[in-house]
A and B are shown apart, each in its own frame.
Chain A
Amino acid sequence: MQSGALDTLKGTGRRRVTIDPITRLEGHGKIDIFLDEKGEVERAYYQIPELRGFEIFSLGRPAEEMPQITSRICGVCPTAHHMAATKALDDLYHVDPPPTAKKIRQLIYNAFMLEDHALHVYILGGPDFIVGPDAPKEMRNVAGVIEKVGVETGKKVIAMRKRLRELITHLGGKIIHPVFGLPGGVAKGLTADEIPALRELADESIEFAKFTLGVFKNIVLANEKYVSLITSEEFTHRTYSMGLVDANNRVNFYDGMVRVTAPDGKEFAKFAPSKYLDVIAEHVEPWSYVKFPYLKQVGWNGFADGAGSGIYSVAPLARLNASDGMATPEAQKAYEELVATLGGKPVHHTLANHWARVIEMLQAAETLRELADDPLLTGKEIRTLPTEKPTVGVGIVEAPRGTLIHHYETDERGLITKANLIVATQNNAGRIAMSVDKAAKGLIHGGIVNDGLLNKIEMAFRAYDPCNACSTHSLPGQMPITLRLRNGAGEILREIGR
């Protein structure tokens, strides 16, 4: 936005606050907050980058390359893209993988979800909740988290993450370049002698997830101040929720039907991945490159809550809302506690995403154990060879950040003629924009903007774990923020940098 928006402010007496990533994420995840003459927030905008050129890049390439290409595009969650692309190829070639292949895919995918969620809970959510939203900024980092939870816990987190990554690498090839997914199956099976170590890791994973739930309860839920922040109106939106569910309407990360529940919790839609275009449409705003997805049947009615607005949410909390519960026993218990504590289902408090994430860790760990005990996991039949001509394929998985959609069309030789991705953060874009706007309006008054307030506004989008996928690495590394307070002429009155 920017210079143009500044010009329109001239002579109006209004001011603009910019929360602006100044590193290689320039232009990515930028927040602009416009203040009126009294220092009240008129409107806050959160801009998410859109990956451009994907369709052009894909045209004419063999469809079989897509699991490798898409996993290379995203440096954040290559396993999710690899899996969604692989499932799209199943659909494209009209082939159903054998049960063993599906179980191996689920094993890899649940290990990935667990590892990714653990990283988020301790490293991203940690500074906000474990250290505390009002802690001095020099403490709101990894070092502060370790100081609070203890070195032994820190070592436990790092060790568990390492072992899960080794498992994923062993089964699926390098995490950064997964190669296990093939249309109709997987490239490599498991043998019986690998199962004991897998069981051991699964048991340790369950203990680790339970331990993490304990950390969350002891530090976050035991603190009334944190709980009131979670349930505060500034961090609440009553939107539709979307997520994959299994045949019993339980949360599933890898497969199933897509279910949408209304703000009152009732089922609104349930559809097969191939029907996604019947349900989802996209809206364009002049201030953002992102196309905001919304529910076609409800329609686009602006950035608004409620049943009359087609905006929906994805990610852990939305998955819990869109389901009838968790698929494993311990996770189900934890889910029931969340629902009871936060006033019943559905839960619309954005910051409860952190709690939902821990519950999903538990489901992922328990699923690992169930799979390790399943004799089908070591079956010999790991691929159904495609025999039909390729046409259209849609693959949907639940990425850590929410519903991820891959859609390919090819000619009869299997060369791509159309490709479309809707990534999780895009599905969440409408709600994230609303969250940032609401938090800014609730927290900034009389032109007073300080580091603590800035952090709380950032918390509104960090809870979603936004993935600005095309920025893959780290020089200088973190996402420093500068906040600029400007007068109507665009002059900087004050600058807060980190």
Chain B
Amino acid sequence: MPDRQPQPLLLALGNTLMGDDGVALLAARALQRRYRERIDINESPIAGFALLDLLSGYRRALIIDASSTGKAPPGTIREFHREDFTPDVSASPHYAGLPDILALGSQLGIPLPGEIRILGMEIEDTGMIREGLGRAAAGSFPEFLRRAGEILDDWITRV
């Protein structure tokens, strides 16, 4: 499959009906105006194997997402690397993660980005259906935008 777009991809994962879980989607919407001409921006409430469809054909992708590792306070922003993810048996294919997708792409010759960066914000996972961010996520939101923008700016200048 040829590159469908020469532009980098910003992919936001999450669900705005689950409170903080939607932080990346809100960030992508906030970054729209500044980057929409130079970056493909996509949102998805589904991950798992949907990542295969969403990532294929791109050379560079920035994935932004909420994380709930419980290892840092809500609002903490962290860049994850490929080494943070190891392929494993998942409880469900819907939770199949990035390493599975990358391994599958490599085995089956599906073109996936050579450069993937992943930015996550630790969230307060309440399990409640609600809209809007909690205090910690809202407080870190500008920094989340700044960090994502930094990566995108770097890519734009390199294109």
Distance of B148 from chain A, by nearest CB (Å) = 14
Do A29 and B17 contact each other (CB < 8 Å), given the known contacts A72-B45, A119-B49, A123-B49? no
**Residues on the A chain within 8 Å of B97, using CB:** 474, 476-478
**Residues on the A chain within 8 Å of B109, using CB:** 155
**Residues on the B chain within 8 Å of A27, using CB:** 125, 127
Distance of B78 from chain A, by nearest CB (Å) = 10
Closest to B123 in A: A24
Do A162 and B103 contact each other (CB < 8 Å), given the known contacts A53-B130, A475-B13, A477-B96? no
Is B18 at the interface (CB under 8 A from chain A)? yes
Q: How far is the CA of A24 from the CA of B69 in the complex (A)?
A: 5
Distance of A116 from chain B, by nearest CB (Å) = 9
Contact B53 A162 (CB under 8 A): yes
Contact B92 A479 (CB under 8 A): yes
Contact B104 A49 (CB under 8 A): no
Selected contact of B69 from candidates A23, A78, A162, CB within 8 Å: A23
Is A34 at the interface (CB under 8 A from chain B)? no
Is B31 at the interface (CB under 8 A from chain A)? no
Closest to B52 in A: A158
Selected contact of B129 from candidates A73, A143, A458, A477, CB within 8 Å: A73
Of the stretches A376-384, A407-415, A462-470, the one at the interface is: A462-470
Q: How far is the CA of A142 from the CA of B89 in the complex (A)?
A: 8
Which residues 71-91 of B sit at the A interface, judged by CB distance below 8 A? 80, 84-91
Which residues 2-59 of A sit at the B interface, judged by CB distance below 8 A? 21-27, 29, 49-54, 56-57
Contact A26 B15 (CB under 8 A): no
**Residues on the B chain within 8 Å of A155, using CB:** 108-109
Is A165 at the interface (CB under 8 A from chain B)? yes
Contact B69 A22 (CB under 8 A): yes
Distance of B91 from chain A, by nearest CB (Å) = 4
Contact A478 B127 (CB under 8 A): no
Q: How far is the CA of A116 from the CA of B15 in the complex (A)?
A: 20
Interface flags for B102-132 (1: CB within 8 Å of A; 0: not) read 0110011110000000101000011111100
**Residues on the B chain within 8 Å of A21, using CB:** 91
Is A137 at the interface (CB under 8 A from chain B)? yes
Is A69 at the interface (CB under 8 A from chain B)? yes
Is A127 at the interface (CB under 8 A from chain B)? yes
Interface flags for B121-159 (1: CB within 8 Å of A; 0: not) read 000011111100000000000000000000000000000
Interface flags for B37-79 (1: CB within 8 Å of A; 0: not) read 0000000111111111100000000010111111000000000
Which residues 46-88 of A sit at the B interface, judged by CB distance below 8 A? 49-54, 56-57, 69, 72-73, 75-76, 78
| B-side interface size class | 35 or more
Is A141 at the interface (CB under 8 A from chain B)? yes
Closest to B46 in A: A75
Closest to A73 in B: B17
**Residues on the B chain within 8 Å of A24, using CB:** 66-69, 125
Selected contact of B47 from candidates A69, A123, A474, CB within 8 Å: A474
Is A338 at the interface (CB under 8 A from chain B)? no
Q: How far is the CA of A119 from the CA of B126 in the complex (A)?
A: 29
Closest to B118 in A: A475
Distance of B153 from chain A, by nearest CB (Å) = 23
Distance of B152 from chain A, by nearest CB (Å) = 19
**Residues on the B chain within 8 Å of A158, using CB:** 52, 104, 108, 110
Is B14 at the interface (CB under 8 A from chain A)? yes
Contact B125 A26 (CB under 8 A): yes
Interface flags for A104-141 (1: CB within 8 Å of B; 0: not) read 00000000000000011001100110000000011011
Contact B15 A52 (CB under 8 A): no
Contact B99 A119 (CB under 8 A): no
Q: How far is the CA of A162 from the CA of B50 in the complex (A)?
A: 10
Distance of B127 from chain A, by nearest CB (Å) = 5
4 A-B pairs with least C-beta separation = A477-B97, A24-B68, A474-B47, A473-B47
**Besides the known contacts A27-B127, A478-B87, 8 further A-B residue pairs in the complex with CB atoms under 8 A apart:** A75-B94, A120-B93, A124-B93, A455-B89, A473-B45, A474-B65, A478-B89, A478-B95
Interface residues of A (CB under 8 A from B): 21-27, 29, 49-54, 56-57, 69, 72-73, 75-76, 78, 119-120, 123-124, 127-128, 137-138, 140-143, 146-147, 151, 154-155, 158, 161-162, 165, 175-176, 455, 458, 461-462, 465-468, 470-481, 498
A selection of 22 A-B contacts at a CB cut-off of 8 Å is A24-B66, A26-B69, A52-B127, A53-B129, A76-B92, A128-B89, A138-B87, A146-B107, A158-B108, A458-B91, A462-B89, A468-B91, A470-B127, A470-B129, A473-B46, A473-B66, A474-B96, A476-B67, A476-B69, A477-B85, A478-B85, A479-B95
